[in-house]
Structure formats: structure tokens, C-alpha cells
Amino acid sequence: MISASPSSILTLPDRWQTEVAAHISAGEAILASLELDLDHRLHFQQGLLLLSENRLLACEAGSQGVWKSWELRTGLRLQHHDHAGVATLELIAQEDEPVLLASWRYTLEHNVAALRLIEKFDKQVDAIATGLPPETEEFVACPTCKALLEPGQEECPICTRELHTPPSTWTLFRLWRFARPYRWQLLTGFLLTLASTGATLVPPYLTMPLMDEVLIPFQNGKPIDWPLVGMYLGGLTVAALLAWVLGWIRTYILALVSERIGRDLRTTTYDHLMGLSLEYFGGKRTGDLIARLGNETDRINVFLSLDLLNFATDVLMITMTAVILFSINPWLALVTLLPLPFIAWLIHFVREKLRTGFERIDRVWAEVTNVLADTIPGIRVVKAFAQEKREAERFREANQRNLAMNDRLNKTWSVFSPTVTLLTEIGLLVVWVFGIWQIAHNNSTVGVLTAFLAYIGRFYTRLDSMSRIVSATQRAAAATKRIFDILDHVSSVPQPVNPRPMPQVTGQISMHDVGFRYGNRSVIRNLDLDIQPGEMIGLVGHSGSGKSTLVNLICRFYDVTQGSVRIDGVDIRSIAIADYRRHIGLVLQEPFLFFGTIAENIAYGKPEATRAEIIAAARAAHAHEFILRLPQGYDSLVGERGQGLSGGERQRISIARALLINPRILILDEATSAVDTETEKEIQKALDNLVLGRTTIAIAHRLSTLRKADRLVVMDRGQIVEIGNHDDLMAREGHYYRLYQAQQRNNAEIVSEGDNE
């Protein structure tokens, strides 16, 4: 028997089962395991690390079954750190100095398992030290999506599902979700198309009796039967009129549906996009997203409402024609349909070629948009560094790539239509030859041949339009995939399933053992901080020390990778995001204004605000007077991204914006760094109004700005290194002291330079 705890050994991958069984003693329970996937030279090799009640066992990666073990004892600890996606786990013995006993490497894929192993290890060692049994298992949360994991479960089922199921080639069927609300209109459109194509099939049929019963007998000396002619011609007219009316209604209905599907697709995608976390936007290019929402939704709706229906009717039409042809003359029909397999093959062939092409064209096109989205907002920098030529060149290059890609595709594409035409001509020729031969042998009539020739023209045009479905489908599939890329993306800041209502907060924030990484870069480590309601915290530290990141975590723009952030004792991950953010006012270093009037920008967070409220906020933000000096006062347009205003003016508007929502928690991230000293004084006055009675976290470059702070928190490389008020910290002569000294030294220069805007 392998172990006393069968559930834990079950979590081992199969290939380890027998080996492990051979190396552990009977009755030895395995508490945790970690698969190692790298050896010491960082080559991909398999290894395993096991923790049992009294020892740590390792099969070194790449060692081919050499096992080592370490008895657990006090003074042992496991330490892990990671860099560039590779984690190192070290077993260290604390003697007079720390001694490295062993170390193991693995990719971050196994990080969850490693953290569990370390936790269990610590508990075991503690138990040995204290002589008490280790505390029982608590729940573990998935580090990525925060879902609680079952005990012993190593991978989060939600995250793995998200990652390992790519949208399949059947993605197009997922569009049904968007077509569904319009299924009746689509059905009507389909029936109308069918009827109108049916109507167009009537005229060739009528040419047959016209030939055989009227014209040929007339040539043979019979008089023309006028009533009969009138009937046939009347039939032709009715068929033509019918096809016209039906076609008209059909086109109208489908155009309406098409636009509506497009609208739904765009709004749904945009809604979803807005719900995604900052992390998503950090990894995406604006131009790419614009291209997806613009062109590609358009392509999809055309596909759904036109191409797809046309294709369906084409198929039916071909079947109908084939049935008619066979009913008239089976042999001739057989010959007529002969080129069909060739065309089917051709379509298949071209499809293969085009499939990849269109996806790539889309990507290249997104690149073109990206260049625009990059340079136009940055136009001042481009001009300041006289790089217009280079940017023009970059755009030209992107365009050139787009052209080259299109050229390549067109090469395939362009032979396609003419080939279909060629096949049509050959088909006609074959029908002529066979028809004449049959007529000569009295197996057929001139009327039948004329009807066949008339049908066959329509028949092949249908095939041609059917072939268009190939490219349309491929394009639509590519577009669909890119749209569903957005729609399928689960926000890395997920909404809680059962959100806690949070109508009121006092503003007490506590962070416990917080760790955070951007991708593989660990930015914040083991951070603990408690902020009392109404307290003002000044956050200082070198640039890059993680201040803004901490603020991002408090705002829940990102979720912590470890530990928790609580407000009034409630984990912020259990509160609905919008509900939570309502309590937070944020003023950033680069205030972003939207295109619109000043009043609209101030009322951004509370659109229903009255004019009096807006003015009160502007007054408190010391923005009122400069606004009144503008030509249209509060109704002045600020220009795109607020370009019509100076930096300090923009900043004060963004302060008014934060003030208007009357938040309990106020966060100022270098709100005054980008402005001159005069303006800073103005802003400072505005801020003094703002911080009254609120929990405030202020990050400031100039330490003098934080004179009002109750406590200063000094950060360095993602950790809090000092906490205290100015005097304490100066007395301590540590990090803060050095920062302060450095600034004093620079101050003289800054003052003499005057403003730096």
C-alpha cells in the first residue's frame, strides 16, 4: 500500500506514481508535492519535490531517478523568489549564518503548488519546534482568478479552462447569439430570396414551349398561335415583376437586419471591453482595438445578413435548377452538371489559400491603425524631435506591408473568378455539342436546348457567387475570432459572484501581506499597512518604488497576487467593482479630460450633478475663477484630451471632478508634480479643501507637499521601509532622511529655474 493519505498521492501525475511508491516508506503520508520542470542549468527536465510529515524528498530534475531527502528540523526554511518567469526554491538551514542546503528551479506554472508546499513545510517545521500538531488546512485561493480551490486541487479549473480552450473553427456558429434576435426577419429574408430566385427560374422554362410550340412550327409553315404566345409572354412579364418586387423587399429587410446586428455586435463588444481590467488594456494597442470594433464588426454583420443567406439560396437554387434540368432531359442535365466537381475542387483549393491570408491582412491593417493611434496623440513629441519623416516612413512601411499582403492574396484571388467563367464557357460548349448531337438523333428538341443554355448561364453565375462565400466566410471567421478574443477575455479583476453591498464606508483600509506582480515582474512584496478612517497618508519613495502600483491595488485596477486589501474589514474582491469605486476619488499626475465642456468634465463621475454642485466643486478646487475667464465659462470646450487648457488648469478640473463625487477615500498620485510652483500653491489650497475628513493617500514628488500628512509611508522597491511623521523619520536618518536631503540640495536649483512646465 502506498500511503495513509490516498487523496494526496492521487494529485501526483501518473508517471511519478510508481517511482514515488518506491521511495517513500509504508504509511508515510505525502502532504504536498511540487513538480519541477527545470534543472540547475535551466534546461527543461522533469523532477519532483515531495513533503511528507517528517522529511522533504526530491528527485532532482534531470537526475534520472536519484532521490535525496532532508529530515525536517527546526531552523530549516524554504525560501522562494523568481525572476523572468523562473522561480527558485531554496532550502536553507539557519546556523550561525544561513547555509544553502539545496535549491530547485521551476517555471511559474507551478507556483501555486510551490506556495502550498512552502506553507505546509512551515507548518510542519513549526509543529516540530513547538511539539504541537500542525493546524488544519485552510482554503487556498487561485492566485490568478481568486476562486477558492478545493483542498489538494492544484490548478484552478476556471483559469485553466480560460487558457487552454482556443476558439475553434466553429467560432462562426457563436455568432448565432447575435443573429438570434433577428431570426424571424432573417427567415423572411431567406424565404423572399428563395421566392425571388424561384421567379427568375420561370423565364427559361417558358422559352422551351415558345420555341417548340410556336417558333419552330412557324418555321415549318404553321401559323402563330397568338393567344398562346400572349399567355407565355404574360408569364414572362409576371415572373420578371415578381422577381423585382420580392428582391426589393428582401434587400430592404436584410439591410435593416444587417445594420442592427452590427450595432449589437459593436455595443456588446464595447460593453465587454469597458469591463476589462487595466491589465488587458496595458497589453493591447489602441489601433488594434479600434480596427476590431470598427471594420471587423462590419464585416461580420455583412456576412451574417447577406453572404450567408445568399449562400443558402444559391445552394437551394442550384438544387432546384438541377431538378428542373433532370426532369426535362436527364442526359443533357448530366452533361451540364459535369463541371460541378471541378468547381467544388477549385473552391476548396482557393479556400485553403485564402484562409490564412485574410487573418494576416487584418493584423497588418491593425498595424496601420496602430501607427496612427501612436503618433497622433504624440504629435507634440514627434514635432519637437523633428521626427515627422520617420513617422511618415513608419506609416508608409505599414501601408507597404498591407499592400504586399493584399497583393499576395489577390494573386490567388484574381485567378479564381476568371477560372469560374472559363469553366462556364467550357460547360456551355459541352452542352452545345451534346445538345446538337441529341437533336440530330431526335432525342431532344431545339426548345429544350435553348432552355438549358439559358439555365446554365444562371447556374454558373450562382456558382460564382457561391465561391464568393469562401472569401466571405474566411474573412468573417477571422473577424469573428478577433471579436470573440475580446468577448471571451475574462477580466483579471473579476466581479464577485455574490457582491457584498457597500452603501457606506468609513474609509478604513487595511492591507495584509500584499504581493503583486506585473506579468513575471514582482513589484510589491509582503506589504502590510493599516490606514485609519480620515487619516492622511503621505506615500513617498523613489520613482519606481511601487507607489502608483499600491494605489492601483487600492483602487482595484489590478488584483493583488497575494494577500488581501480590505476596506472596513471587507475584502475588496467581494464588493461589486462599481460599488467600490464610487467611494474613491482619484487625481492622477496626468489628468485626462474627455472631449466636451468643462462642466461635463467636472461632472464626469456624477452626471446628474446640479450646476450649483459643479460650481461648488470648481470653487473648492480653485478652478472657478480661471473657468470664468474662459470665453464660454463652464460651457467652454476643453478640446481633445483637454488640449485647450494648461497643465495646472487641467489638474484643477480633475480635482474638481474628484471632489464632486464626495468620496470617502481620496487618492492623489503626484497630483501636483507636473505644474509650476505658483500653480502648485493654488492646487495645494484646492487639495487642502479636498482632504478634509477623508481618508487620503497622497503621493508627492515634492516632500513639502505632504506637510499635512498624519503619517508618511516610505516605500522602497515594493516594500514599506519606514513609517512615521516627518520629525520621526528625520530623526531616524534613514531612507526618508536621504530623500529629504537630496531634495533640499536640489531645491535651490528648482527655485531659480522658476516654473518647469
Partner 1 sequence: MSKIEFTLARNRSGRLVCTLADGSVHANITPVRAFPLAAPNEGLALMSQDGHEIVWVDTLDELNPDQRALIDSELTGREFMPEISRLNSVSSFATPSTWSVTTNRGTTAFVLKGEEDIRRLPNNGLLIADNHGILYLIADRKALDRHSRKLLERFL
Please identify, using beta-carbon distances, which residue of 60 and 288 lies nearer to ligand ADP.
288
Please identify, using beta-carbon distances, which residue of 43 and 183 lies nearer to partner 1.
43
Which position among 105, 299, 556, 624 is part of the footprint of partner 1 (CB under 8 A)? 105
Which position among 301, 480, 545, 561 is part of the footprint of ligand ADP (CB under 6 A)? 545
Smallest distance from the beta carbon of 552 to ligand ADP, in angstroms?
7
Q: Are 124 and 51 in contact (CB under 8 A)?
A: yes
Which residues in the 456-475 window bind ligand ADP by CB under 6 A? none
| Contact residues: Mg ion, CB under 5 A | 548
Per CB under 8 A, 356 contacts partner 1: yes
Q: Are 737 and 730 in contact (CB under 8 A)?
A: yes
Please identify, using beta-carbon distances, which residue of 354 and 523 lies nearer to ligand ADP.
523
Per CB under 8 A, 286 contacts partner 1: no
Please identify, using beta-carbon distances, which residue of 143 and 427 lies nearer to ligand ADP.
143
| 3-state DSSP of 356-389 | HHHHHHHHHHHHHHHHHHHHCCCHHHHHHCCCHH
- CA dist 628 → 157, 595, 635 (Å): 57, 19, 10
Which residues in the 310-339 window bind ligand ADP by CB under 6 A? none
Smallest distance from the beta carbon of 549 to Mg ion, in angstroms?
8
Per-residue contact track with partner 1, 700 to 739, x per CB under 8 A?
A: ----------------xx----------------------
Which among ligand ADP, Mg ion, partner 1, none contacts residue 282 (Cβ within 5 to 8 A by kind)?
ligand ADP
Q: Are 652 and 672 in contact (CB under 8 A)?
A: no
d(CA 452, CA 146): 69
**Which string of DSSP letters, residue by residue, matches 390-440?**
HHHHHHHHHHHHHHHHHHHHHHHHHHHHHHHHHHHHHHHHHHHHHHHHHHH
Per CB under 8 A, 42 contacts partner 1: yes
d(CA 676, CA 673): 8
Give CA torsion, residues 505, 507, 513, 514, to 10 deg.
Answer: 90
Which residues in the 44-63 window bind partner 1 by CB under 8 A? 44-45
Please identify, using beta-carbon distances, which residue of 126 and 162 lies nearer to partner 1.
162
Smallest distance from the beta carbon of 284 to ligand ADP, in angstroms?
12
Per CB under 8 A, 519 contacts partner 1: yes
Which among partner 1, ligand ADP, Mg ion, none contacts residue 546 (Cβ within 5 to 8 A by kind)?
ligand ADP
Which position among 266, 462, 475, 547 is part of the footprint of ligand ADP (CB under 6 A)? 547
Per CB under 8 A, 19 contacts partner 1: no
d(CA 244, CA 250): 10
The angle subtended at Cα 686 by Cα 685 and Cα 691, nearest 5°, is 100
Please identify, using beta-carbon distances, which residue of 374 and 568 lies nearer to ligand ADP.
374
Which position among 329, 480, 549, 564 is part of the footprint of ligand ADP (CB under 6 A)? 549
Length of the chain, in residues: 757
d(CA 195, CA 339): 27
Smallest distance from the beta carbon of 547 to Mg ion, in angstroms?
5
d(CA 31, CA 121): 9
- Window of 251-259, 300-308, 517-525, 562-570 that interacts with ligand ADP by CB under 6 A: 517-525
- CA dist 695 → 37, 246, 663 (Å): 46, 68, 9
Please identify, using beta-carbon distances, which residue of 37 and 298 lies nearer to partner 1.
37
Q: Are 59 and 126 in contact (CB under 8 A)?
A: no
Per CB under 8 A, 432 contacts partner 1: no
Smallest distance from the beta carbon of 670 to ligand ADP, in angstroms?
8
Per CB under 8 A, 360 contacts partner 1: yes
Smallest distance from the beta carbon of 158 to partner 1, in angstroms?
14
**Which string of DSSP letters, residue by residue, matches 135-163?**
PPP--EE-TTT-PEEPTT--S-HHHHHHH
Nearest by Cα to 677 from 705, 697, 653: 705
- Window of 101-109, 338-346, 436-444, 571-579 that interacts with partner 1 by CB under 8 A: 101-109
Please identify, using beta-carbon distances, which residue of 6 and 282 lies nearer to ligand ADP.
282
Please identify, using beta-carbon distances, which residue of 507 and 541 lies nearer to ligand ADP.
541
C-alpha cell, 320:
432546384
Which residues in the 554-583 window bind partner 1 by CB under 8 A? none
Neighbours of 713 (CB within 10 A): 24
**Which string of DSSP letters, residue by residue, matches 280-301?**
HHHHS-HHHHHHIIIIIHHHHH
Per CB under 8 A, 520 contacts partner 1: yes
For CA atoms 751, 753, 754, 757, give the dihedral sign: negative
Smallest distance from the beta carbon of 589 to Mg ion, in angstroms?
7
The helices-and-strands tally (H runs, E runs) of the chain is 27, 19
Describe the strand order of the beta sheet including 570-571 as a list of residue ranges.
521-531, 509-518, 562-567, 570-571
Give CA torsion, residues 467, 473, 476, 481, to 10 deg.
Answer: -150
Please identify, using beta-carbon distances, which residue of 314 and 670 lies nearer to ligand ADP.
670
Please identify, using beta-carbon distances, which residue of 75 and 633 lies nearer to partner 1.
75
Which among ligand ADP, partner 1, Mg ion, none contacts residue 549 (Cβ within 5 to 8 A by kind)?
ligand ADP
Query: Which residue in the block uniquely carries the three cell numbers 485553466?
Result: 160
- Window of 219-227, 283-291, 529-537, 675-683 that interacts with partner 1 by CB under 8 A: 283-291
Per CB under 6 A, 672 contacts ligand ADP: no
- CA dist 193 → 247, 279, 309, 417, 454 (Å): 7, 47, 8, 23, 20
Please identify, using beta-carbon distances, which residue of 423 and 539 lies nearer to Mg ion.
539
Per CB under 8 A, 543 contacts partner 1: no
Beta pairing, strands 55-59 & 140-141? unpaired
Per CB under 8 A, 283 contacts partner 1: yes
Which position among 13, 85, 282, 330 is part of the footprint of ligand ADP (CB under 6 A)? 282
Which residues lie across from 667 on neighbouring strands?
Answer: 586, 697
Per-residue contact track with partner 1, 469 to 498, x per CB under 8 A?
A: ------------x---x-------------
Per CB under 6 A, 548 contacts ligand ADP: yes
Smallest distance from the beta carbon of 561 to partner 1, in angstroms?
12
Smallest distance from the beta carbon of 521 to partner 1, in angstroms?
8
Q: What is the 8-class DSSP label of residue 53?
A: S
Which position among 546, 605, 642, 663 is part of the footprint of ligand ADP (CB under 6 A)? 546
Please identify, using beta-carbon distances, which residue of 285 and 701 lies nearer to partner 1.
285
Per CB under 8 A, 166 contacts partner 1: yes
Cβ neighbours for 743, distance < 8 A, ≥ 6 positions apart: 702, 703
Per CB under 6 A, 544 contacts ligand ADP: yes
Give 3-state DSSP helix, strand, coil % of the chain, rounded to 5. 60, 15, 25
d(CA 545, CA 523): 8
The angle subtended at Cα 418 by Cα 417 and Cα 424, nearest 5°, is 95
Per CB under 8 A, residues contacting partner 1 are 37-38, 40-45, 83-86, 88, 90, 92, 97-100, 103, 105, 107-109, 162-168, 171, 283-285, 288, 356, 359-360, 363, 481, 485, 519-521, 716-717
Per CB under 6 A, residues contacting ligand ADP are 282, 518, 521, 523, 541, 543-549
